[in-house]
Chain A
Amino acid sequence: MSDPNGPIAEEELHAFVDNQLGPERLPAVQRYLQDHPDVARRVGAYRGQRDALRAALGGVAAEPIPPQLNLEALIRQRLAQRRTPWRAAAAVLLAFGLGGAGGWLLHGGVPAPTGIMTLLAQQAVANHVVYTADRRRPTELGADQRDDLARWVSNRLNHKVAPPDLSADGYRYMGGRLAATPDGPAGLFMYDDPQGMRLTVFVLPMNAASSRPIQHVDFAHVDGCAWIDQGVGYTVVGKLPPTELKRIAELVRAQFNGST
């Protein structure tokens, strides 16, 4: 950017000190410093300042971060204040644990699921967290439009699917919606129990034609059960004990298998 042999500017000396000097000017500056010992001494002092400041202040950055600056705690406080424009995303993030993908575990010493099951469960939990948190409009089509929703979702998923009926087990069908994932559209059906606890059933056609048995998935703040039947992924997500989740997952699975 500059003439390799042009005169040396004061700011180039500082760029030299800060290792920000372009390589094309480095030889000229080094020559200049050799020829001008007084300037070299001054530049050396600046370097010394820089090194000493870094050393003197380094300890602060090496300290553990105090609790009041814990980012996850700050996000929780923000969420509690209900004025965070990215509420939904933050809620998802907390569900996964800050930092994302690594935050989930399987119960019972089963090897952690990878790949396809991870994708399925993450999408299910993300949509669960976003839509169940919505008090005013958690569903796109309500319980009274059950058949419309079934048609809509079946068309978009290119896979016949209807909201399972869990009323006999105390879960009232609230409605559902089409959900978005990186793998394409998914169906989301929502239920609640008399205490207002919301449960979702998530259906996502996967690109693989494999099947996987029901697995319990445990995120930081919500649990679920995921499985794959003939290339279609299913997940039941809710704040329920693992045994109850598993029971519902088996009911849902039986209903889906009966309807296809």
Chain B
Amino acid sequence: MTVSGVLTRIEACIPALRRYAAALLRNREDADDLVHDCLVRALDKLHTRRDEADIRAWLFAIMHNLFISQLRRARARPAGEPLDETHEASMSIRPDQESSLLWRDLLRGLNQLPVEQRAVILLVSVEDLSYAEAASVLGIPVGTVMSRLARGRERLRQMIDEEAVRPALRRVK
């Protein structure tokens, strides 16, 4: 591996790390602080890298571990308790956008999910990690990734149905 190769890969991952952090945390400032800590930690651990292959998953794993220890330190609220509403305002939603209502409901719903389900949904749906990569990032078996993904998506679907944002999404039974 070359150091410059690894650093170039790390740099390319920063936008995705910011996106993941922004979706996990209450506000953008905290999110960027988390990304900052993640990059600093990655630079500290750079000499342990043997290859450039899975830099992205490696970075997400570092960030996820930092996030979890932050949650613990802050005596995190119990899983599933809603995050506060200031989050939405700082999210990158533009009200003029047609889909913003759905987006807002979706992000609000996402924030009501237990953090472990939220993380899986974000890593898989938004960050395009494979199930195996998501499993390694979160330090859980692939089967657990799948069950959290299924539970999270289904709960999100029901929440949005209940909001009845769009007739097309209304549950038909």
Residues of B18-61 whose CB lies within 8 A of A:
18-19, 22-23, 28, 32, 35-36, 39-40, 43-44, 46-47
Which residues of the other chain, A, contact B3 by a CB distance below 8 angstroms? 86, 89-90, 92-93
Question: Nearest chain A CB to B116's CB is how many angstroms away?
Answer: 16
Residues of A82-141 whose CB lies within 8 A of B:
84-86, 89-90, 92-93, 96, 98-100
**Nearest-neighbor residue (CB-CB) of B109 within chain A:** A49
Question: Nearest chain B CB to A119's CB is how many angstroms away?
Answer: 15
The answer to the question of B122 belonging to the interface, with a C-beta cut-off of 8 Å to chain A, is yes
Residues of B98-114 whose CB lies within 8 A of A:
99, 102-103, 106-107, 110
Which residues of the other chain, B, contact A89 by a CB distance below 8 angstroms? 3
| Range, interface on chain A | 35 or more
- As a 0/1 sequence over residues 12 to 52 of chain A, the CB contacts with chain B under 8 angstroms (1 = contact) are 00110110100000000000000000100110011011101
| Range, interface on chain B | 35 or more
Task: Given the known inter-chain contacts A57-B92, A57-B126, please indicate yes or no for A93 contacting B7, CB distance below 8 A.
Answer: yes
Task: Give Cα A20–Cα B145 distance, bound, in whole angstroms.
Answer: 14
Contact of A84 among B43, B99, B157 (CB under 8 A): B43
Question: Nearest chain A CB to B7's CB is how many angstroms away?
Answer: 6
One of A63-71, A163-171, A198-206 contacting the partner = A63-71
Which residues of the other chain, A, contact B122 by a CB distance below 8 angstroms? 53, 57
Task: Give Cα A48–Cα B161 distance, bound, in whole angstroms.
Answer: 12
The answer to the question of A196 belonging to the interface, with a C-beta cut-off of 8 Å to chain B, is no
- Would B8 and A99 count as touching, CB distance under 8 A? yes
- Would A69 and B18 count as touching, CB distance under 8 A? yes
The answer to the question of B121 belonging to the interface, with a C-beta cut-off of 8 Å to chain A, is yes
**Nearest-neighbor residue (CB-CB) of B46 within chain A:** A86
Question: Nearest chain A CB to B110's CB is how many angstroms away?
Answer: 7
The answer to the question of A59 belonging to the interface, with a C-beta cut-off of 8 Å to chain B, is yes
Question: Nearest chain A CB to B155's CB is how many angstroms away?
Answer: 11
The answer to the question of A1 belonging to the interface, with a C-beta cut-off of 8 Å to chain B, is no
The answer to the question of A144 belonging to the interface, with a C-beta cut-off of 8 Å to chain B, is no
- Would A100 and B130 count as touching, CB distance under 8 A? no
- Would A71 and B10 count as touching, CB distance under 8 A? yes
Task: Given the known inter-chain contacts A50-B125, A60-B92, please indicate yes or no for A71 contacting B146, CB distance below 8 A.
Answer: no
Task: Given the known inter-chain contacts A18-B124, A71-B10, A86-B46, please indicate yes or no for A57 contacting B23, CB distance below 8 A.
Answer: yes
Residues of B138-173 whose CB lies within 8 A of A:
146, 149-150, 153-154, 156-157, 160, 169, 172
Task: Given the known inter-chain contacts A93-B7, A99-B4, please indicate yes or no for A14 contacting B146, CB distance below 8 A.
Answer: yes
The answer to the question of B16 belonging to the interface, with a C-beta cut-off of 8 Å to chain A, is yes
Question: Nearest chain A CB to B39's CB is how many angstroms away?
Answer: 6
Q: Which of A38, A50, A57, A60 has the most CB of B within 10 A?
A: A57
Which residues of the other chain, A, contact B43 by a CB distance below 8 angstroms? 74-75, 78, 84
The 9 closest A-B pairs by CB, nearest first: A59-B92, A56-B103, A61-B15, A89-B3, A85-B47, A60-B19, A61-B19, A11-B146, A50-B125
Chain B residues near A (Cβ < 8 Å): 3-4, 7-8, 10-11, 14-16, 18-19, 22-23, 28, 32, 35-36, 39-40, 43-44, 46-47, 91-94, 99, 102-103, 106-107, 110, 121-122, 124-126, 130-131, 146, 149-150, 153-154, 156-157, 160, 169, 172
29 interchain pairs, CB-CB under 8 A: A11-B146, A18-B124, A18-B125, A20-B131, A41-B172, A45-B157, A45-B160, A45-B169, A49-B153, A50-B125, A50-B126, A52-B103, A53-B110, A53-B121, A53-B122, A53-B126, A54-B125, A54-B126, A57-B92, A58-B92, A60-B15, A60-B18, A60-B92, A61-B15, A63-B92, A69-B36, A71-B39, A78-B44, A86-B3
